[in-house]
Amino acid sequence: MDLIKKLTGKNPSEFEPVAQALVNNSDKELFSALVKQDDFLFDFIKDNVAKRIQKACNKDNYLNLLEFFDYYSPSYDTMIAEVLHTFSGDELLPAIKEIFIDGEDSAKAYAAKYFSFVNKDLLGDIIPLLRQTAFSKFEPLSVNSIEVLSLLNDEESKNEALSRLNSDDDFMKFEAVKFLVNYQAKDSITRILEVMKESSLSENIACQIPFLIPLEDLIKQDEEAALLVLCYIVNAIPEIVPPDSVIDYGLYNILEIIMKSPITSTSAVLLRLAKEKFQELYSNEEYIFDCDRNTKNEIKEINSLLSSLNTNKLDSLLYDELFEGSDFVFFALDYVNEIEELEALLDSQNPTLVLKVLTILKEKGSLTESAKEEALKHIQAPEIREIIEVL
């Protein structure tokens, strides 16, 4: 651990000899320990370490980096691939292809990253395997394979992902979304948004979308869709995505843009949801206890920004979204107090919507037998009827 401290420290007289020894001796034990620290080191520290290791490489020792292929890290894969290609050109490609064919997933992931540096005309024979590893359960291998397929403009793999969006399996759809996002298939955004609305994994899909198209651009392109994506993203914090994602998504700037625009019923839903969410995050230390200072400060600033909103004014706009066809109705329901407005939704043909309304009525102590009877008139699914009857 002392060597890790030296390698990640600020003193050149300490980190330079450690980096040099790491490469010269193919010190797999030290590199493995370094990789295990990935989750505990700031990104700028890992960037510094990568530069230090790269500087320690030369034409006589660069092949020693191959010894580290058993220990995958997204913090060092680009550096390792770049060093290998810088000193070998495309001459190392046959050996890397063998690793990609026969190696373990970690080694395959490094090999795929190397492919992103080589002459693309030399990769034709490996494309079929890349199409397979693009859907690997080992995410780094999947991501790096998709990156290469995108660089190769491989339409077959892209079309396969698009076809998977039509699957009856929501998990397969989600894997297809991740492929298209990593492929940077920007022309698939409309279809992805459609899938998001229909899926049981809406939050997961929404959290991928900003990596395909910036939220600011999506707002200009389709404001309603952007607001819905944001509702799902806010709803996903911190259960699906960690609190520090607020920085990755640039939520402060996005929410500020929305607040400066005329408030509509749909933006009111988002702002109401966000206001409650960030009040909860800020006031409950358990949610942000492990967060770094930047994340805590960002959550504090977002909470301060949203605290200026008039909750009553927002709530008064939500009622325009209380109809079955609204994409925002499920979010709006959580802030509706009028019992009659809720009961009016019980003639919906959407069993999930009916069940949520009944659950809210019960939480408010306002669930009546007549409300249950009205709901049962429109529900045919036996499993839903059983739930309603025992509410």
Residue keyed to tokens 């107090």: 337
Q: What pLDDT, on a 0 to 100 scale, did the predictor assign at position 354? A: 87
Average pLDDT of 48-60?
97
Rounded to whole angstroms, the Cα distance separating 7 from 14 reads 7
**Percent of the chain residues topping a pLDDT of 90:** 81
Rounded to whole angstroms, the Cα distance separating 391 from 387 reads 6
Rounded to whole angstroms, the Cα distance separating 192 from 198 reads 10
Q: What pLDDT, on a 0 to 100 scale, did the predictor assign at position 1? A: 56
User: What DSSP assignment string belongs to 250-268?
Assistant: THHHHHHHHHHSPP-HHHH
Maximum C-alpha span of the chain: 82
Average pLDDT of 128-132?
97
Per the CB < 8 A criterion, the answer to whether 339 and 368 are in contact is: no
Rounded to whole angstroms, the Cα distance separating 10 from 5 reads 9
Per the CB < 8 A criterion, the answer to whether 260 and 308 are in contact is: no
Average pLDDT of 328-354?
90
pLDDT band with cut points at 50, 70 and 90 for residue 384:
confident
Interval 218-275: pLDDT, tens: 999 999 999 999 999 999 999 999 999 999 999 999 999 999 999 999 999 999 999 9
Average pLDDT of 310-318?
94
What are the CB-based long-range contacts (under 8 Å, 24+) for 329-332? 329/353, 330/356, 331/231, 331/235, 331/269, 331/270, 331/273, 332/269
Per the CB < 8 A criterion, the answer to whether 298 and 237 are in contact is: no
Rounded to whole angstroms, the Cα distance separating 318 from 219 reads 20
What type of residue is 44? F
Lowest mean pLDDT across 2-6, 179-183, 192-196? 2-6
Q: What pLDDT, on a 0 to 100 scale, did the predictor assign at position 288? A: 85
Token reading at 236? 């996903």
Rounded to whole angstroms, the Cα distance separating 354 from 348 reads 6
In 3D space, the residue among 76, 84, 63 whose CA is nearest the CA of residue 30 turns out to be 76
pLDDT band with cut points at 50, 70 and 90 for residue 81:
very high
In 3D space, the residue among 354, 365, 364 whose CA is nearest the CA of residue 389 turns out to be 354
In 3D space, the residue among 12, 10, 77, 74 whose CA is nearest the CA of residue 45 turns out to be 10
Average pLDDT of 3-10?
94
Lowest mean pLDDT across 156-160, 197-201, 314-318, 350-354? 350-354
Give the predicted TM-score (pTM) of the model.
0.90
Q: What pLDDT, on a 0 to 100 scale, did the predictor assign at position 375? A: 77
pLDDT band with cut points at 50, 70 and 90 for residue 192:
very high
Q: What pLDDT, on a 0 to 100 scale, did the predictor assign at position 366? A: 86
Q: Tell me the pLDDT of the chain averaged across its residues.
A: 94
Specify the length of the chain in residues: 391
Rounded to whole angstroms, the Cα distance separating 111 from 140 reads 11
Rounded to whole angstroms, the Cα distance separating 107 from 96 reads 9
Domains of the chain, residue spans: 337-391
In 3D space, the residue among 61, 58, 69, 63 whose CA is nearest the CA of residue 28 turns out to be 69
Alpha-carbon separation of residue 343 from 212, 353, 386 (angstroms)? 39, 11, 19
Lowest mean pLDDT across 54-68, 297-311, 317-331, 343-357? 343-357
HSE at residue 123, side-chain half, CA atoms within 13 A, is: 26
Query: Residue 337: is its pLDDT beyond 90?
Result: no
